[in-house]
């Protein structure tokens, strides 16, 4: 059985700590300062034999205007309406506050199933708060300590009867990257649609970039709902939030990440945690969309971010946002392409797409570019085709002969996908210059239509090697004298 549980409450009552406890991982950022969580974060939770989806929410505050806190509150209220069950947390050491009473009234009107949890109630310090919680009129409170894992059995007995009857929902599966290709299967014609996204294995996309580039706005437009918190303020997003959706017929799981500034400018501990969370999202993704601001594209930090995605072996798509603000579109597009080719040669041929997250213009082209990049990232090439190509490349441009010894390229095969990885058997692999490696990689891109995707090329030596060739042995003096006598 499966259901959705939303954890709500005032700031700093321990919602994210309990969320991490239920999912069994440190997914949500946790800090002593209040207001760390701003977006809705979903996770697959496990409590004994119960399997369900848990939602971590921003702290409820008595603000109803269009300020950042007001937008956070509206997002949390939306999560309450989405959820099957709400767990309303209060701080057992502080007791019931006037804000708790206001929010208890709101929850009674919005959700039929509300469980009252008294967190931080370990020991005698939480006795007063647990007794006061009865006054909220939400039934018997559950005493717990999210930090120490206390009270989870009581929570289980409260959830168990409510969980009956809820439909089962599919859980998100981690993507498979860096896939080995066995040599006996490398020559077989693989199913070209085997890697296509499905409901069970959605396409994993991470959107990364500098602060205020429009990442959250872009994702809201893609999923066609105001799921992520947006606004004119830079640095609103803190957690790497994942959302499942259907985008033009493609099942996706898309990650919104915190804006990444230069390391020297980051002094706040929370911002460091946010950036680290975003980097983990990149490692979890299959395709990374590097979002640039059209007014200040390809700054040094943009180049670092794109290079990190390529280094991690992910398919990369460059998207230039706020295209609706540009007047001279043709001239600007030519300038962007020239800067891209010059500043990011390691991503030569990767898609460059102009979009407007505000109006939704260009999202169909972005969707097509992501699917193509994903297809290339999964491409397999048979050994026969590779060796025919290798012979032509060597004939057109023979490898160098350092020290008078010609390097011979004997055999080539593909050993990995996601990203494509190749091994070339050759003589003297350590003497191969980087320029010839680049010649082979660029040839692979051009001949087999693999623009932009990371390509891993490994040179490996062939032939029998004597393991004792370079080892020096110490001959005892008695044996040396005996050998001298024998002549």
Q: Which of 172, 199, 215 is the last residue of a domain?
A: 172
Is 487 annotated for ligand binding?
A: no
Q: Which of 104-118, 407-421, 453-467 has the lowest mean pLDDT?
A: 453-467
Report if residue 480 sits inside a domain: no
Domain membership of residue 26 (yes or no) is yes
Mean pLDDT of 334-346: 90
Residue 59 in marked binding region? yes
Q: Is 213 annotated as a binding residue?
A: yes
267 marked ligand binding residue: no
Express each pLDDT in 276-313 by its tens digit: 556 777 777 899 999 998 888 888 878 888 888 888 88
User: Residue 100 — very low, low, confident or very high, per pLDDT cuts 50/70/90?
Assistant: confident
For residue 434, give its domain range. 383-461
Q: Is 210 annotated as a binding residue?
A: yes
What is the pLDDT, as a whole number, of residue 30? 47
Under 8 Å between Cβ of 463 and 327: no
| Residue 33 CB partners (closer than 8 Å, separation 6+) | 12, 270
Task: Label residue 331 exposed, middle or buried (CB < 10 Å: 0-12, 13-18, 19+).
Answer: exposed
Band of residue 214 on the pLDDT scale cut at 50, 70, 90 = confident
Q: What is the mean pLDDT of residues 219-239?
A: 63
* 324 marked ligand binding residue: yes
Is 172 known to sit in a ligand binding site? no
Percent of the chain whose pLDDT exceeds 70: 71
Binned at pLDDT 50, 70 and 90, residue 227 comes out as: low
289 & 372 share domain: yes
Looking at residue 388, what is its pLDDT? 92
Query: According to the annotation, is 327 in a ligand binding site?
Result: no
| Minimum mean pLDDT range among 155-169, 353-367, 416-430 | 155-169
Is 438 labelled a binding residue? no
Instruction: Please state the rounded mean pLDDT for residues 86-91.
Output: 88
Any known ligand binding at 323?
yes
Same domain (yes/no): 390, 374: no
267 within some domain: yes
Domain's final residue, options 361, 378, 395: 378
What is the model's pLDDT at position 368? 95
pLDDT for position 420: 92
Annotated binding residue at 476?
no
221 among the known binding-site residues? Answer: no
Average of per-residue pLDDT across 83-111: 82
Which has the higher per-residue pLDDT, 2 or 4? 4
% of the chain residues with pLDDT over 90 = 22
362 carries a ligand binding annotation: no
CA distance 228 to 7: 17
Q: Is position 123 annotated in a ligand binding site?
A: no
Q: Any known ligand binding at 111?
A: no
- The last residue of a domain, from among 362, 378, 394: 378
More confident residue, 38 or 15: 15
Residue 106 within any structural domain of the chain: yes
Same domain, residue pair 391 and 411: yes
The CATH number for 426's domain is 3.30.300.20
Is 212 annotated in a binding site? The answer is: yes
Greater confidence, 471 or 432?
432
Tens digit of each residue's pLDDT (9 = 90 or more) over 365-384 = 999 999 999 999 999 999 99
Q: Is the pLDDT of residue 144 over 60?
A: yes
In a domain, 155, yes or no: yes
Check residue 176 and give its pLDDT.
Answer: 56
* pLDDT value at 124 more than 60: yes
Domain assignment present for 484: no
Could you tell me which of 203, 93, 208 has the C-alpha nearest to residue 143?
93
Residue 14 annotated as binding site: yes
Residue of 258 and 466 predicted with greater confidence: 258
Residue 242: pLDDT over 70? yes
What CATH number does the domain containing 196 carry?
A: 3.40.50.300
Band (pLDDT 50/70/90 cuts) for residue 272 is very low
**Whether residue 205 has pLDDT greater than 70:** yes
Residue 321 annotated in ligand binding: yes
Highest mean pLDDT among 134-143, 159-168, 221-230: 134-143
Report the pLDDT averaged over residues 17-25: 85
């Amino acid at each position: 059985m499966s259901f959705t549980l939303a954890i709500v409450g005032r700031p700093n009552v321990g919602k994210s700590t309990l969320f991490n406890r239920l999912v069994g991982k440190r997914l949500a950022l946790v800090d002593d300062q209040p207001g760390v969580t701003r977006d809705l974060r979903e996770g697959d939770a496990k409590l004994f034999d119960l399997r369900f989806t848990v939602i971590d929410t921003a702290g409820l505050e008595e603000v109803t205007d269009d300020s950042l806190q007001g937008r956070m509150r509206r997002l949390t209220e939306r999560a309450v309406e989405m959820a099957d069950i709400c767990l309303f947390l209060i701080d057992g050491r502080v007791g019931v506050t006037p804000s708790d009473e206001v929010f208890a009234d709101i929850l009674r009107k919005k959700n039929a199933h509300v469980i009252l949890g008294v967190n931080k109630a370990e020991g005698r310090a939480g006795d007063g708060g647990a007794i006061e919680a009865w006054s909220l009129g939400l039934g018997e409170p559950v005493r717990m300590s999210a930090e120490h894992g206390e009270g989870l059995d009581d929570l289980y007995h409260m959830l168990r009867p409510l969980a009956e009857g809820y439909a089962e929902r599919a859980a998100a599966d981690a993507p498979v990257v860096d896939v080995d290709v066995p040599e006996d299967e490398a020559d077989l014609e693989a199913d070209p649609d085997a890697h296509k996204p499905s409901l069970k294995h959605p396409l994993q996309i991470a959107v990364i970039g500098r602060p205020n580039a429009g990442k959250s706005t872009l994702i809201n437009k893609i999923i066609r709902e105001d799921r992520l918190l947006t606004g004119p303020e830079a640095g609103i997003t803190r957690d790497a939030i994942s959302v499942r959706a259907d985008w033009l017929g493609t099942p996706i799981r898309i990650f919104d990440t915190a804006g990444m500034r230069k390391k020297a400018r980051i002094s706040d501990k929370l911002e460091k945690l946010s950036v680290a969370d975003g980097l983990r999202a990149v490692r979890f993704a299959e395709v990374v969309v590097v979002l640039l601001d059209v007014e200040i594209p390809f700054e040094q930090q943009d180049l670092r971010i794109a290079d990190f995605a390529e280094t991690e072996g992910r398919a990369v798509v460059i998207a230039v946002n706020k295209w609706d603000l540009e007047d001279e579109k043709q001239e600007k597009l030519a300038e962007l392409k020239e800067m891209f080719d010059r500043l990011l040669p390691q991503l030569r041929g990767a898609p460059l797409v102009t979009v407007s997250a505000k109006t939704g213009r260009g999202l169909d082209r972005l969707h097509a570019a992501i699917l193509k990049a994903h297809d290339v990232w999964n491409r397999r090439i048979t050994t026969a085709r590779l060796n025919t190509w290798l012979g032509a490349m060597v004939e057109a441009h023979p490898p160098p002969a350092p020290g008078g010894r010609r390097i011979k390229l004997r055999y080539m095969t593909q050993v990995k996908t996601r990203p494509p990885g190749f091994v070339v058997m050759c003589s003297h692999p350590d003497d191969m210059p980087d320029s010839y490696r680049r010649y082979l990689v660029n040839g692979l891109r051009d001949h087999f239509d693999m623009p932009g995707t990371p390509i891993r090329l490994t040179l490996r030596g062939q032939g029998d090697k004597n393991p004792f060739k370079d080892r020096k042995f110490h001959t005892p003096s008695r044996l040396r004298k005996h050998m001298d006598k024998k002549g």
